[in-house]
Amino acid sequence: MQPEPAKSNPLPTWIAVDPKSITLLEQASKIAASRSTVLIRGETGTGKELIARALYQHSLRARASFIAINCAAIPENLLESELFGHERGAFTGADQRRIGRFEQANKGTLFLDEIGDLPPGTQVKLLRVLQQQTFQRIGGAEAISVDVRVIAATHRNLEAMIREGKFREDLFHRLNVVCLQLPPLRERRDDIPVLVQHFLRKYAGDFGVENPTISSDAVAVLQSDSWPGNVRELENMTRRLLLGARF
């Protein structure tokens, strides 16, 4: 049987019924409309970008842009240009002006995923933007003012990185104005049945399966797993279940 939620979901774009998840979403709903910088923490696969998008969708900036960037996915020598842009001729290969993500997100929200992977030099420039809401494109002299709400996320232990000299403490405090700690899936097992049903409906058409169902015994097995990959792993498992039902 599907567990009855103790309270209604305050951010329905994030699927949840488990009391731990509802508590998290209640906290998130209270800060969604604020201007505060938010740091979302949690293991890989827990849904950090989903909660960031939920914050954006329920904010006063929901009509403006939501720009997401994965700091770990972009080479260090390109990341600064990606964030702040560059002028033509700023470096070899810069044959035209580039508008960076901060400018693209003006009046809106910028989501910086994997903030713990930000290189030291870029950390300094990000701190300056958070403090002053201004920056310069690479190779430019003009101070560009922006109004951007920053939401950052990480699975890393930033406090340990600060002690090791790998992350700036002043930047940490600028990012950590409000902190949302996402519980791993193994600590919110009541969410598993509704997530499985959601993924079954979402991917059924991809596998040519009509009205997919799953037995209560199978759900109980899924709930007993530790899920080190969290919701992302559960989603992939659901796809494999649909594949098995197809062949």
Task: Tell me, yes or no, if the two domains 32-183 and 187-246 fold the same way.
Answer: no
In this prediction, residue 1 carries a pLDDT of 38
Per-residue confidence at 240, pLDDT binned at 50, 70, 90?
very high
pLDDT, average across residues 153-172:
98
In this prediction, residue 5 carries a pLDDT of 41
Q: Which residue has the tokens 């909660």?
A: 51
In this prediction, residue 246 carries a pLDDT of 58
Average per-residue pLDDT for the chain: 92
What does 169-221 look like in DSSP terms, one character per residue?
HHHHHHHTTEEEEPPPGGG-TTHHHHHHHHHHHHHTGGGT-SS----HHHHHH
pLDDT, average across residues 84-110:
91
Question: 32-183: which CATH architecture?
Answer: 3-Layer(aba) Sandwich (3.40)
Percent of the chain whose predicted confidence (pLDDT) is above 70: 95
What does 70-117 look like in DSSP terms, one character per residue?
ETTSS-HHHHHHHHH-B-TTSSTT--S-B--HHHHTTTSEEEEETGGG
What does 3-56 look like in DSSP terms, one character per residue?
PPPSS--SSTTS---SHHHHHHHHHHHHHTTS---EEEE--TTS-HHHHHHHHH
Question: 187-246: which CATH architecture?
Answer: Orthogonal Bundle (1.10)
In this prediction, residue 2 carries a pLDDT of 45
Is the pLDDT assigned to residue 12 strictly greater than 80? Answer: no
pLDDT top residue among 7 and 244: 244
pLDDT top residue among 23 and 9: 23
In this prediction, residue 7 carries a pLDDT of 59
pLDDT, average across residues 129-138:
94
Per-residue confidence at 3, pLDDT binned at 50, 70, 90?
very low
Of 242, 186, 247, nearest in space to 214 by CA: 242
Task: List the domain boundaries for the chain.
Answer: 32-183, 187-246
> What is each CA distance from 188 to 75, 83, 137, 224, in whole angstroms?
35, 35, 44, 11
pLDDT top residue among 144 and 3: 144
Q: What predicted TM-score, i.e. pTM, was given to this entire model? A: 0.91
In sequence order, what are the residues at sequence separation of 6 or more whose Cβ sits closer than 8 angstroms to the Cβ of residue 127?
A: 168, 170, 171, 174
Is the pLDDT assigned to residue 217 strictly greater than 80? Answer: yes
pLDDT top residue among 210 and 193: 193
Residue 176 and residue 123: Cα distance in Å, rounded?
Answer: 14
pLDDT per residue as tens digits for the range 61-72: 999 999 999 999
